[in-house]
Structure 1
Amino acid sequence: MTILGDFKKFVFRGNVIDLAVGVIIGAAFGKVVTSLVNNVIMPPIGYLTGNTDFSNLKILIKNGTKPEDEVAIKYGAFIQDTVDFLIIAFCVFVLITIIGKLQRKKVTKEQELIPPAPPAQEVLLAEIRDILKSKPIV
């Protein structure tokens, strides 16, 4: 096969497309969660802590004449990103838990439709019966 054919085969496998969709949905979900944290969760927390804007909290190491010349440890942005991560992780946990429960219900419904296998003795007796039926009567 050619390189182009191999690449086409690779790209159009189900796993690659599923992964691409997951990455795109994940990026969009990340933006929604970031907005939730920045605009809904952090303002009340900032209000409770004395109108503190967490994204601006920092330890200044070197003051600069311009903002880009400044050297600082921006621990407020770290707090913000940590809250983002915890919310995303919790949402993924809830989503996976729900999907797992739905799959278990689906499996149990399918198992109800399939009759249970007969015991080994009955299978053996049925085989003996079939062998006896196939032999001519003398």
Structure 2
Amino acid sequence: MGMLKEFKTFAMKGNVIDLAVAVIIGGAFGKIVSSFVNDIIMPPLGILLGGVDFKDLAIILREAYTEAGTDFPAVTLSYGNFIQNVVDFLIIAFVIFLAIKAMNSMKKKEEAAPAAPAAPPKSEVLLEEIRDLLKKKEL
């Protein structure tokens, strides 16, 4: 029973929940970037390269064949998919770089901003009021 309680405490800590949210958002963001690369970036790039679809770029190591009634698929190196994944990675890495750079600059601004002067303690305010009253009596 103690281990279950420890696990619940661990799982409910803020950083574990933050990590879970980051993984979920990261997965969704990965889908967006993949769609951006596959549907927006690669088609014009393929046209520039003479109508090449990167998904079709592959080196055939062995042609498909049929032997004794069994079909054997072709063995290929699909380097077009690899190129698309590299572009995906570069875009994601660049966006993360920009996000971290923005967060670091915001942290520097917060550190550089002068802290607001702390309100004086109540006892000090009270002493100042007493001093002012005594000055008025002396006049």
Identify the TM-score tier after normalising by the shorter chain: 0.7 to 0.9
Query: Is residue 54 of structure 1 aligned with residue 54 of structure 2?
Result: yes
* Larger fraction in helix: 1
Name the CA shift for 1:68/1:22 in 2 (closer, same or farther; >3 Å).
farther
* One-letter amino acid of the counterpart of residue 104, structure 2: G
* One-letter amino acid of the counterpart of residue 113, structure 1: A
Residues 32-56 of structure 1, C-alpha deviation per residue, up to 9 Å, x if partnerless?
0000001111111100000100111
Query: Is residue 16 of structure 1 aligned with residue 16 of structure 2?
Result: yes
Name the CA shift for 1:68/1:101 in 2 (closer, same or farther; >3 Å).
farther
C-alpha distance in 2 between matches for 1:113 and 1:56: 62
Query: Which stretch of structure 1 is more off in the superposition, 63-72 or 11-20?
Result: 63-72
C-alpha distance in 1 between matches for 2:72 and 2:112: 60
- The 5 A counterparts of 1:10-89 are 10-65=10-65, 69-89=73-93
Query: Is residue 113 of structure 1 aligned with residue 126 of structure 2?
Result: no
Q: Aligned pairs, how many?
A: 114
Q: Identity of counterpart residues, as a percentage?
A: 46
Considering only aligned residues, what root-mean-square deviation do their CA atoms show, in Å? 2.0
C-alpha distance in 1 between matches for 2:26 and 2:83: 21
Name the CA shift for 1:107/1:114 in 2 (closer, same or farther; >3 Å).
farther
The TM-score normalised by the length of structure 1 is 0.76
Extract unaligned runs of 5+ from structure 2: 119-139
C-alpha distance in 2 between matches for 1:45 and 1:106: 42
- Give 1:114 deviation, angstroms: 5.0
* Larger fraction in strand: 2
- Give 1:112 deviation, angstroms: 4.0
C-alpha distance in 2 between matches for 1:83 and 1:68: 32
C-alpha distance in 2 between matches for 1:96 and 1:47: 34
* One-letter amino acid of the counterpart of residue 55, structure 2: S
Residues 6-32 of structure 1, C-alpha deviation per residue, up to 9 Å, x if partnerless?
110110111111111111111011000
The TM-score normalised by the length of structure 2 is 0.75
